Amino acid sequence: MAENILISYQSISKRFGGVQALDDVSFSIRKGEIHGLIGENGAGKSTLIKITGGIYRRDQGQILWDGRPLEVNSPLEAERHGISIVHQEIPLCGNLTVAQNVFLGRLITNRFGQPKWDEMEERTVELFRQIGQSIDPRARVGELSVALKQLTAIVQALNGTAKFLIMDEPTSALTPGEVETLFEVLRRLKNEGTTIMIVSHILSEMMEITDRVTVLRNGRHVGTLDTKDATIEGLVHMMVGDVPLPTPKESTAVRGEVVLKVRGLSQNRLRLKDINFDLYRQEILGLAGIQGAGRTELATTLFGVHQPDSGTIELEGREIKIKNPRQAIEHGIGYLTEDRRNLGVFWDMSVWQNAGAAIIDELTSYGNVLDNKRIEEMAAKSISDLQIKTSGLSQTIRYLSGGNQQKVLLARWLNVKPKILILDEPTRGVDVGAKAEIRKVIQELVDQGISVIVISSDLEELLAMSDRVLVMANGSIKGEFLAREATFDKIMALAVQK
């Protein structure tokens, strides 16, 4: 039996700051199988992949590779062992041809160091033929479809003679026909002896392609089972667990009063299709869904970052058009980004500058001369309302903890005195204490009369906070639950639809 095992994870643990990403995970992958790895967002799938590929280092445990301990400290070393990862965002050079990409880093040259393109192009065609595909080796990769780019990445990995191919969400951007082609390629590779691990959210596809499935939940190994013994319902239950449902809070929503009414909203480029929903006054409306379901896209469209192609948005009974974030703010809509690092924080600026960024024109007197008194009042209020731990209002935000940075950004949106606040992953990457505080602040806001749309990948939190939950998948709303009637299983069953 043991010689059947290609890679064996033994008690792998990994911690990022306050978050235990992987906790004592042990399972094995057999030679020549297609192994599925599933779990909710944050279950630890990517961390496990990155440890395997030498991008992260594990804190504890060991990996046995073909029976021997494996130590990889870089993707290059992993590749030398025969471990290749095809990432969701495929890192190919779009300006180079297929053959050039396939042979990137291992050019075939003559004795004068000149690349022998003809030979490499022939070898590329041959490699593609081995997986049953034809290709123009001189095509520019940037002009290929996502599916062909993916195949190019697979061929690139095979050219490095990969024994173990890891595919991260390979089907999320493919059409059904392309998925079939990919699966044919994977089956062919399997028959030739390559071992494959697939990470995916789409359980129906996992049922179709994998031999065995491993489920992770909150960084722990829940189980590994033969796919033929599994059911989608069973897997969903393993993913979300037997958690006691959070006691739903007393609903504060004022049912009769619709604050925001969205009808038939579509945005083709963002793949939003026919979105309809109402938001009531003093309601917390949760948006559930897996990554790529379109929740952030919906939020940013409501905030005027993108223009809808069709549909209407009504605010307090009046139809409005929102052309840019400034107009959204003027209508009383705020949006806390999910990507604090890139889209939220001004790293070189101070606490007050970050907190006041959306109302800077109101912090002035005599035209637009900054008024220190107003600034100090605003900053003092923000710092005390949200209990921001900082050495002062002029402290550079860079030096605050993640939770306090998030509170500063939340303060930015409270300062605009919004009617509607859209919070995109408001507690992502903050520690437990700050999480609770942020949730408390949100509830207080609602008690004061504003309405909140909250996006969170933490279902437990979403159910605990929300009055009502909409489930999104693939750019549209698939269902709606009152929080007290919802269960993890019901929500996930809708969320994993294609």
Partner 1 sequence: MKNLLGALKFRREVGVLVVFVLLCVFFSLVTNTFLTVPNILNILRQVSISGLIVMFMTMIIISTDIDLSVGSIFAAVGMIVAILFQNGMNIWLASLVGLLAGAGFGLINGVVTVKGALPPFIVTLGTQMIYRGFALVISGGAPASVRLPDAFYNVTGARTFLNLPVPALWFLAVTFIAGFILHKTSYGFKVYATGGNEEAARLSGIHTDRIRITNFVLIGVASALASIIQMAYLRGVTPTAGQGMELTAIASTVIGGTSMFGGVGTIGGAFIGTLFMGVVRNGLVLMGTSAYLIDLIIGIVLITAVFLSTLSTREKR
Minimum CB separation of residue 333 from partner 1 in Å reads 10
Minimum CB separation of residue 300 from partner 1 in Å reads 8
Which of 363, 383, 408, 465 contacts partner 1 by CB under 8 A?
A: 363
Minimum CB separation of residue 331 from partner 1 in Å reads 11
The residues, any chain, with a CB within 8 Å of residue 447's CB and separated by 6 or more, are 252, 282
Instruction: Classify the phi-psi angles of 141: left when phi > 0, otherwise alpha if psi is within -120 to 50, otherwise beta.
Output: alpha
Q: Is 370 in the site for partner 1 (CB under 8 A)?
A: yes
Q: Is 343 in the site for partner 1 (CB under 8 A)?
A: yes
Q: Which residue has the tokens 């173990």?
A: 164
What is the Cα–Cα distance from 101 to 151, expressed in whole angstroms?
12
Minimum CB separation of residue 394 from partner 1 in Å reads 13
Which of 259, 358, 462, 469 contacts partner 1 by CB under 8 A?
A: 358
Minimum CB separation of residue 228 from partner 1 in Å reads 47
- Counting Cα atoms < 13 Å in the Cβ hemisphere of 297 gives 23
Minimum CB separation of residue 389 from partner 1 in Å reads 21
Which of 325, 332, 402, 479 contacts partner 1 by CB under 8 A?
A: 325
What is the Cα–Cα distance from 342 to 380, expressed in whole angstroms?
26
Q: Is 242 in the site for partner 1 (CB under 8 A)?
A: no
- Counting Cα atoms < 13 Å in the Cβ hemisphere of 465 gives 33
Q: Is 16 in the site for partner 1 (CB under 8 A)?
A: no
Q: Is 323 in the site for partner 1 (CB under 8 A)?
A: no
What is the Cα–Cα distance from 410 to 423, expressed in whole angstroms?
9
Nearest to 37 by CA among 176, 233, 168: 168
Nearest CB to partner 1, comparing residues 48 and 345: 345
Q: Is 335 in the site for partner 1 (CB under 8 A)?
A: yes
Subset of residues 92 to 121 that bind partner 1, contact rule: CB under 8 A = none
Q: Is 392 in the site for partner 1 (CB under 8 A)?
A: no
Which of 318, 323, 348, 373 contacts partner 1 by CB under 8 A?
A: 348
What is the Cα–Cα distance from 366 to 280, expressed in whole angstroms?
39
Q: Is 373 in the site for partner 1 (CB under 8 A)?
A: no
Q: Is 229 in the site for partner 1 (CB under 8 A)?
A: no
Q: Is 351 in the site for partner 1 (CB under 8 A)?
A: no
What is the Cα–Cα distance from 101 to 140, expressed in whole angstroms?
9
| Interhelix angle 488-495/232-240, nearest 10 degrees | 120
Beta strands in 31-162 (DSSP E): 34-38, 60-65, 68-69, 83-86
- Asked if residue 49 lies in contact with residue 166, where contact means CB atoms within 8 angstroms, the answer is yes
Q: Is 302 in the site for partner 1 (CB under 8 A)?
A: no
Q: Is 391 in the site for partner 1 (CB under 8 A)?
A: no
In the chain, what's the furthest Cα-to-Cα distance?
81
In 10 A of CB 381, how many CB atoms?
14
Decide the pairing of beta strands 451-455 and 284-288. Answer: parallel
Nearest to 470 by CA among 246, 338, 283: 283
Nearest CB to partner 1, comparing residues 293 and 328: 328
Q: Is 324 in the site for partner 1 (CB under 8 A)?
A: yes
Q: Is 382 in the site for partner 1 (CB under 8 A)?
A: no
Nearest CB to partner 1, comparing residues 412 and 478: 412
Q: In the beta sheet, which residues pair with residue 20?
A: 15
Q: Is 346 in the site for partner 1 (CB under 8 A)?
A: yes
Q: Is 434 in the site for partner 1 (CB under 8 A)?
A: no
Residue 357: what residue type? A
Q: Which range touches partner 1 (CB under 8 A), out of 159-167, 350-358, 469-477, 490-498?
A: 350-358
Phi, psi at residue 21, to the nearest 5°? Answer: -75, -40
Q: Is 329 in the site for partner 1 (CB under 8 A)?
A: yes
Q: Which range touches partner 1 (CB under 8 A), out of 11-19, 75-83, 111-119, 345-353?
A: 345-353
Phi, psi at residue 167, to the nearest 5°? Answer: -115, 120
Which residues contact partner 1 by CB under 8 A? 303, 305, 324-326, 328-330, 335, 337, 342-349, 353, 357-358, 360-361, 363-364, 368-370, 412, 416
